[in-house]
């Protein structure tokens, strides 16, 4: 018989405890796990695939995959490590799928490549944003879009999630040395591409 946990008690459980106690009979337990990590997961996937809508779809699929395979997972590291590993694999698959679809579309039409702007924010733009800020965001999106997906993922996990290098390596299934190289190269490449803009003294939003 499944024990239904009180909502206020769920917040006291660790991520791994929530996963262990998740069941088809009580969606609230796994729902708490999703609630904790959903926003950061969407932000992470948006940076990798470049589209907020696709990122939300990927995150939903990622959590569903983890729920279905929950009996196979055991606590070895932080739950985030497992989560980002699953999400990155789905992101890369999505990038490959979209790339193949874009190539087919280009062959079928001469009206342009039809591919979306990389890392374009699909949410409504702020009408009060200054032209300089819009230019800065566009340049930053373009610069990030030129990085390999793994490099974007590593940089995001380090700069925005503050994960230790070893946790990033575990999440991306790479060696510690590889992750350090990826992040170093990503930072260097971004600085090279953004240097003319930064030297003007403009801020990047």
Tell me: pLDDT of 134 over 70.
Answer: no
Residue 129 pLDDT > 60: no
Fold that domain 130-205 belongs to in CATH? Arc Repressor Mutant, subunit A (1.10.10)
DSSP category for residue 72: G
Q: Provide the token pair at 31.
A: 């729902």
Q: State the average pLDDT over residues 159-179.
A: 92
Q: How many CB atoms lie within 10 A of CB 3?
A: 9
Output the pLDDT for position 84.
94
**pLDDT digit string (tens) for 27-80?**
889 999 999 999 999 999 998 998 899 999 999 999 999 999 998 988 878 899
pLDDT surpasses 80 at 159: yes
**Around Cβ 31, how many Cβ atoms within 10 Å?**
16
pTM: predicted TM-score of the whole model, two decimal places: 0.69
Same fold, 1-122 and 130-205: no
Nearest to 48 by CA among 113, 100, 93: 93
Mean pLDDT for the chain? 78
Q: Report pLDDT for 103.
A: 44
* Angle formed at CA 184 by CA 195 and CA 203, multiple of 5 degrees: 30
- The whole-number pLDDT of residue 50 equals 86
Q: Is the pLDDT of residue 110 over 70?
A: no
Domain assignments of the chain as residue spans, ordered by start: 1-122, 130-205
pLDDT computed for residue 132 by the predictor: 55
pLDDT at residue number 202: 52
Looking at 2.40.290.10, 3.30.365.10, 1.10.1740.10, 2.40.40.20, the CATH number of the domain 1-122 comes to: 1.10.1740.10
The Cβ-side half-sphere exposure at 93, using a 13 Å CA radius, reads 10
Q: What percent of the chain has pLDDT over 90?
A: 40
CA distance 78 to 40: 15
Question: Please, are residues 172 and 88 in contact by the beta-carbon 8 Å criterion?
Answer: yes
């Amino acid at each position: 018989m499944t024990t239904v946990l009180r909502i206020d008690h769920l917040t006291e459980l660790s991520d791994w405890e929530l996963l262990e106690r998740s069941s088809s009979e009580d969606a609230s337990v796994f729902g708490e796990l999703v609630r904790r990590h959903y926003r950061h997961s969407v932000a992470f996937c948006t940076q990798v695939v470049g589209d907020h809508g696709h990122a939300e779809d990927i995150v939903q699929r990622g959590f569903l995959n983890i729920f279905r395979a929950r009996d196979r997972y055991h606590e070895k590291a932080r739950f985030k490590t497992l989560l980002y590993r699953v999400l990155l694999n789905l992101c890369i698959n999505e990038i490959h799928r979209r790339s193949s679809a874009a190539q087919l579309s280009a062959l079928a039409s001469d009206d342009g490549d039809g591919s979306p702007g990389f890392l374009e924010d699909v949410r409504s733009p702020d009408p009060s944003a200054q032209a300089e800020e819009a230019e800065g965001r566009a340049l930053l999106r373009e610069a990030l879009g030129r990085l390999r997906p793994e490099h974007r993922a590593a940089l995001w996990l380090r700069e925005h999630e503050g994960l230790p290098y070893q946790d990033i390596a575990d999440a991306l299934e790479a060696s510690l040395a590889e992750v350090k190289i990826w992040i170093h190269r990503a930072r260097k490449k971004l600085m090279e591409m953004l240097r003319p803009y930064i030297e003007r003294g403009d801020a990047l939003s």
